Amino acid sequence: MTAIDAVGNGIAGRLMSLRGWRRVSVSFLLGALAAAAQPPGLMAWAVRLFWKPGVSRVLALAATWTVFEGARGIMFTGFPWNPVGNVWVAFLPVLQGAAWMGVYGLSLVTVFAAAAPAVLTDRRRHRYPAAFSGLALLAAIAVAGGIRLTAAPDIATDGPVIRIVQPNIAQRDKWDPRKRSENFARHLQLSAPTDGGRPTHVIWPETATSHDFLTDPVGRTLLRGVVPAGRLLITGALRVDRVAGRAVGAHNSLVTVDGQGRPQAVYDKHHLVPFGEYIPFRSILPVEKVTAGAIDFSPGPGPRTLRLPGLPPVSPLICYEAIFPAKAVLRHDRPEWLLNVTNDAWFGRSAGPHQHFASAQLRTVEEGLPLVRAANTGISGVVDARGRIVAAIGLGRQGVIDVPLPAPGPSTIFARFGNWIPAALACVFFVASIMFFRINSLREMKQTATI
């Protein structure tokens, strides 16, 4: 396999997992494909260095895959979309392994287990233990994960009750100025108190309003009907910086508003989407942003832990900030829950929203923290600290759910050491691969010498 072949295979593979991104601009899609394809393409080329009969090639494949999957989360500001370890959201016992080794560690074990049976084709004497060692490792993780799930506490019902609003506004309507009032009214209607319960906090999705409603006195007055005294609205919002009445900057923000429409706390998204929320090297790249608006968004200072009235400390995550392992919380100020607001309307009814939700679900197990997620068109929901979905609103549906906030779990091993753990495991696999590679090479030399 040549380097060109490897990169080509990488692009083909990423095309399959990026099906939901087909609605974005060509410039953004080509840039995303180029960045996403490099790690798997280079991985396929690099692993050829250890491509000898025996388990060494399988160990090298798993380790190299993990290294380049991690690199994909760093290169070009990072795009760790849909890592292999995400597959285990469908089987919670193995998913618990993320608490110890993170999603990249799960990818390492999964690739090894999937590729190890290839050793059976070598017809060597000790091929069976090597071929099924990966499955044995997955089984051990499943047993330990099952015990961890059994020991998890029941979900508390006496804590703050959160209302998640999913307005299900199509992307073509969201930024239409003619539908601004209609869209805002839909949020208000879904947030109004009902006979079934009065939640203490209401959460709207990312950029729930297409204008800076914090400077709109009419909008703030209308909020009083759904945010009475003692309650809070937490919403994604467009926030504009103005100088002499002229817009000079914009932020993709999360804002907490009280019953008088007054902002109580603000978090500005810090990990912006290149070509989506800003144009890198704008002076030399003649392309436009995917999102609406003529000016670039400005990043916030970084992760924050917000302390809001009536709620435990929370780490806000806007849109794809939830897909980055070991980046979901401020390490020296650990929160008690995660809040992810997002607008996945531009994915349409593709695999994208499901992949996005799965990545957010992984963060709960890695950090040992529950997640509350509000998505414009879905998937909204609440996930407990073990990755179990407590309640959800499906894709393409309008509605609300009122759910007690689950309790946090203890800090996990991964929460303390982060991506150093999968990096160390990859190093162990590399060393083992070199050892088996040397052993096989020496054996071949002896066999050649006796002929």
Domain that residue 356 falls in: 161-413
State whether 382 and 429 are in the same domain. no
Q: How far apart are CA 332 and CA 363, in angstroms?
A: 17
Q: Same domain, yes or no, for 249 and 270?
A: yes
Residue 377 lies in a domain: yes
For residue range 362-373, list pLDDT tens digits in order.
Answer: 999 999 999 999
Catalytic choice (69, 206, 277, 366): 206
Domain count, the chain: 2
Q: Check whether residue 105 and residue 185 sit in a common domain.
A: no
Q: What is the pTM of this model?
A: 0.84
Share of the chain above pLDDT 70, in %: 77
Active site residue 269: yes
Is there a single domain that holds both residue 189 and residue 132? no
Q: Is residue 135 part of a domain?
A: yes
Cβ count within 10 A of residue 65: 27
Active site annotation includes 179: no
Residues 73 and 135 both lie in one domain: yes
- Compute the distance between CA of residue 440 and CA of residue 434 in angstroms, rounded to an integer: 10
Distance CA 399, CA 165 (A): 6
**Residue 190 included in any domain:** yes
Does residue 156 form part of some domain?
A: no
Distances in whole angstroms, Cα of residue 113 to Cα of each of 91, 131, 319: 16, 8, 32
In a domain, 363, yes or no: yes
Is residue 389, in this structure, part of any structural domain at all? Answer: yes
Q: What is the DSSP string of 94-146?
A: HHTTHHHHHHHHHHHHHHHHHHGGGGGGG--TTHHHHHHHHHHHHHHHHHHHH
Residue 291 half-sphere exposure toward CB, CA atoms < 13 A: 22
State the sign of the Cα–Cα–Cα–Cα dihedral 322, 361, 411, 94.
negative
Q: How confident is the model at residue 437 (pLDDT cuts 50, 70, 90)?
A: confident
Residue 234 shares a structural domain with residue 299: yes
Can 206 be counted among the known catalytic residues? yes
CA 150 to chain centroid: 26
Task: Give the pairing of strands 161-166 and 399-404.
Answer: antiparallel
Check pLDDT > 50 for residue 5. no
Does residue 301 share a domain with residue 165? yes
**Mean pLDDT across 211-223:** 71
Residue type, 300: G
> Is the backbone peptide bond immediately before 155 cis, with ω within 30 degrees of 0?
no
197 and 337 inside one domain: yes
Asked if pLDDT for residue 103 goes beyond 80, the answer is: yes
Answer yes or no: do 401 and 435 share one domain: no
Whether residues 133 and 181 fall in one domain = no
SS3 250: strand
Residue 321 has pLDDT above 90, yes or no: yes
Angle at 185 between CA 183 and CA 191, to 5 degrees: 110
CATH of the domain at 313: 3.60.110.10
Is the same domain home to 427 and 378?
no
Is 210 inside a domain boundary? yes
The residue from 69, 174, 269, 366 that is catalytic is: 269
Same domain, 269 and 326: yes
Which of 24-33, 45-54, 119-128 has maximum average pLDDT? 119-128
For residues 277 and 297, the answer to whether their CB atoms sit within 8 Å is yes
User: Among the options 69, 174, 277, 319, which is catalytic?
Assistant: 319
The mean per-residue pLDDT over the stretch 223-229 comes to 73
